Amino acid sequence: MKATILIVDDDPDILTVLKANLQMHGFETITASSCAEAEERLEQKRPDLIVLDRILPDGEGMEMCRRWSQQTRGLPIIMLTAMDTVSDRVLGLESGADDYVVKPFEPVELVARIKACLRRLKPEEGDVIVSGGLTIDPSAMSVTLRGEPVELTPKQYQLLSLLARHPGKVHSRDQIRKELWSHSKIYSWSRVIDVHIQHLRQKMERNPSEPECIITVPGTGYKFIPPEE
């Protein structure tokens, strides 16, 4: 089955070029030129991935990204924008984007980023992870903590799965970056990863300020301690 890509951009030339290139590589495409139109498209059909411009006629793409990443569980978002400072990239990733591509861009590079993102989010094969009071079902991308479902964004799910598969193992920030992101043009990865950890703790820990299962290892990274049942 072909993956469906929703392209949200107010530049008709970009929509035309991306639609043609994605269809040439075997994707189905849906297009929208505003936030409101994108909302309508999402109600009509859930895509497999969204390519989202940051500046749209009726809203800020980053705010849409932040909201969609919370509401549409498991739906990856690639931001496509001319805003190319390091802080812009970091803010885009912090808002929930899985990748950040700067205009002008080569369509073939964006297609490669889309394929890499979809591969990372493909349901994993393997046994259900049971670690203390935590259960992760890779086939359904679902998480339960002490019997209660936990709603995670795609990146939060990937991060938790990475840590929980190896309880007690210390994962450096660089190892996490290489596992969960396809590019390395950001120079503030520590901040990006720390923000994702903070958000994950808010959903996983009884007291996020005194974490019991997602532990900081000073100067290195993070490790996972199975939560109590």
pLDDT band at 180 (very low <50, low <70, confident <90, very high): confident
Other CB atoms within 10 Å distance of the CB of residue 92: 27
> In the structure encoding, which two tokens stand for residue 228, read together?
């109590």
Q: What is the pLDDT of residue 73?
A: 61
Query: What is the longest distance spanned by two Cα atoms in the chain?
Result: 54
pTM for this structure? 0.67
Domain boundaries, the chain: 4-121, 129-224
> CATH 1.20.1290.10: does it fit domain 129-224?
no
Dist CA 12 CA 33 (whole Å): 8
- Which string of DSSP letters, residue by residue, matches 94-147? HTT-SEEEESS--HHHHHHHHHHHHHHHSPPPSPPEEETTEEEETTTTEEEETT
Q: What is the pLDDT of residue 118?
A: 84
Mean predicted lDDT score pLDDT of the chain: 85
Architecture of domain 4-121: 3-Layer(aba) Sandwich (3.40)
